[in-house]
Amino acid sequence: MTKVQKIKGFADLFPDEAAKYTFMESCAREVFSRYGFGELRTPILEKTELFQKSIGEDTDVVGKEMFTFPDRKNRSLTMRPEATAGVVRAFIDSKIHQPGNISKFFTFGPMFRYERPQKGRQRQFHQIDAEIFGADEPQADAELILMLKAFLNAIGLTKLTIEINSLGCHDCRPAYKQALVDYYESKDKANFCEDCRRRMETNPLRVLDCKVPTCKALVEDAPVITDHLCGECETHFADVRAILDGAGVDYVLNPRMVRGLDYYVRTCFEVTSFDIGSQTAVAGGGRYDGLVRNLGGPDCPGTGFACGMERLALLLDDMALEAPDFYLAVVDKEAANEAMLFAQALRDKGLTGEVSFSGGSMKSRMRAANKSGAKTCLIMGGSELADQTVTVKDMAGNQDQETLDRKLYLASL
Ligand code: HAM
């Protein structure tokens, strides 16, 4: 029979690797709850238009990377490429927003982007995402960066670079876009890739995010947004930086950062690591005032971030899995059923461990007990079955073993 292959760019996470994800999720829960965030779980499938309207048609994500297909009634659906759009849709649907109220959510889960798989880049990957609705203040952006840093520190990562920028607002960005267009026009357009020639008309900022080396080189001297911010955006950005400075957060100003999604205004940020190969961004985020309204909701500002769990996992040391309390070795077939009941009684007492389902040689059972890492090996064969006993072998210390009455042993736990 031919084997069914796994889909390219999709990974299986076995216990050693999955433990890192569980660890990251529990640290995020613990840290985020200190900042007043609550968990939200949204669907993996959404209508395609949700992502077209939010992330933007000119982005690589929407233009080239979405898993999009028609459902049985020919409606276009998309496997979410990121969490923000779905969280915003859910927030609007819930109608929980009241003017003046602030809502904070976090969510974890798989995202899907049809990218070329490589180290730290999967077609199914996982994000830890956090969003704040209802706050247009720079304090909310700063809080997110502080919370992201606290989370990264909690999982043991301290050698990371935080880059920040301001992308201006709907008032000051048009003049910047014009400055960009003027700059592109001063160059030979034929040297830009086809996508960028189109983007110059539709979305000049996107050209700055192009991955094609010739385009990258051509935009090196392009004007920077921070020279075109309006007074309000400048003050907003200065406040974000002042809070980070006050909190002693090291960061780098990167006026060239535009992020890969179209919904951002004002503050944006990325966290990078140079220890994981070419895919250096482990987290990214920013402010998206206007998105809630564009998706049919109230006039409500928003800001957030997402971490890439695959990339963070590359930076984490292997997790020591908790050693089980016992391994129950059945060495005579006749004792198998009784052993199952005894293992059940041990688990009812809160102990962790496995039982071998059938009888086997003492040697093979001892090998399995060692492999499981159990602190105690419990042995049950014909004589233990007859005498209502169990042989208890200490695996951690001096390897002593003694045969004890099963009921008394249970009572002693
Ligand atoms: P993003 O920068 O597109 O932002 O993705 C956030 C993080 O997801 C990246 O920094 C990276 O670590 C991880 N990531 C992205 N694509 C892949 C991939 N193919 N394989 C592995 N990891 C990947 C967003 O998604 C925004 N929604 C963040 C946000 C939330 N902005 C505001 N709120």
Transcribe 64-96 into DSSP letters: H--EEEE-TT--EEEE-SSSHHHHHHHHHHHT-
Nearest-CA residue for ligand 1 atom 31 is 285
Give me the pLDDT at residue 360, please. Answer: 80
Nearest-CA residue for ligand 1 atom 20 is 121
Q: Is 301 in the pocket of ligand 1 (CB under 6 A)?
A: no
Task: Please report the atom of ligand 1 found closest to the CA of residue 287.
Answer: 32
Nearest-CA residue for ligand 1 atom 21 is 121
Q: Is 125 in the pocket of ligand 1 (CB under 6 A)?
A: yes
CA 369–ligand 1 middle distance (angstroms): 42
8 Å CB contact between 163 and 252: yes
Q: Is 134 in the pocket of ligand 1 (CB under 6 A)?
A: no
Nearest-CA residue for ligand 1 atom 17 is 121
Residue 209 CA, chain-centre distance (Å), reads 22
Helix (H, G, I), strand (E, B) or coil at 202: helix
User: Which residue out of 37, 61, 111, 147 has the highest number of ligand 1 atoms within 8 Å of its CB and is therefore the one to mutate?
Assistant: 111
CA 390–ligand 1 middle distance (angstroms): 54
Give me the pLDDT at residue 148, please. Answer: 98
Give me the pLDDT at residue 368, please. Answer: 93
Q: Around 376, how many Cα atoms within 13 Å sit in the side-chain half-sphere?
A: 18
Q: Is 129 in the pocket of ligand 1 (CB under 6 A)?
A: yes
CA 182–ligand 1 middle distance (angstroms): 31
Query: Is this structure's pTM higher than 0.85?
Result: yes
A 10 A CB-CB count for 34 gives: 9
Residue found under tokens 């709850």: 33
285: nearest Cα among 304, 258, 311, 308: 304
Residue found under tokens 């919904």: 263
Query: Which tokens is 399 given?
Result: 């390897």
Q: Is 167 in the pocket of ligand 1 (CB under 6 A)?
A: no
Transcribe 138-176 into DSSP letters: HHHHHHHHHHHHHHHHHTT----EEEEEE---TTTHHHH
CA 65–ligand 1 middle distance (angstroms): 13
Tell me whether strands 103-112 and 252-253 are parallel, antiparallel or unpaired: unpaired
CA 284–ligand 1 middle distance (angstroms): 6
CA 144–ligand 1 middle distance (angstroms): 15
Residues 6+ apart with CB under 8 A from 207: 180, 184, 192, 196, 199, 200, 215, 219
Separation between Cα atoms, residue 275 and residue 270, nearest integer Å: 15
CA 153–ligand 1 middle distance (angstroms): 19
Q: Is 306 in the pocket of ligand 1 (CB under 6 A)?
A: yes
A 10 A CB-CB count for 340 gives: 14
CA 120–ligand 1 middle distance (angstroms): 11
CA 82–ligand 1 middle distance (angstroms): 7
Q: Is 163 in the pocket of ligand 1 (CB under 6 A)?
A: no
Residues recorded for the chain: 413
CA 307–ligand 1 middle distance (angstroms): 6
Nearest-CA residue for ligand 1 atom 30 is 305
CA 306–ligand 1 middle distance (angstroms): 6
Q: What is the full per-residue pLDDT of the chain (413 aa) written as tens digits? A: 899 999 999 999 999 999 999 999 999 999 999 999 999 999 999 999 999 999 999 899 999 999 999 999 999 999 999 999 999 999 999 999 999 999 999 999 999 999 999 999 999 999 999 999 999 999 999 999 999 999 999 999 988 999 999 999 999 999 999 999 999 989 888 889 998 998 898 889 989 988 889 998 999 999 999 999 999 999 999 999 999 999 999 999 999 998 989 999 999 999 999 877 777 899 999 999 999 999 999 999 999 999 999 999 999 988 878 899 999 999 999 999 999 999 999 999 999 999 999 878 889 999 999 999 999 999 999 999 999 999 999 998 788 899 999 999 999 99
Task: Please report the atom of ligand 1 found closest to the CA of residue 260.
Answer: 3
Give me the pLDDT at residue 113, please. Answer: 98
Nearest-CA residue for ligand 1 atom 33 is 304
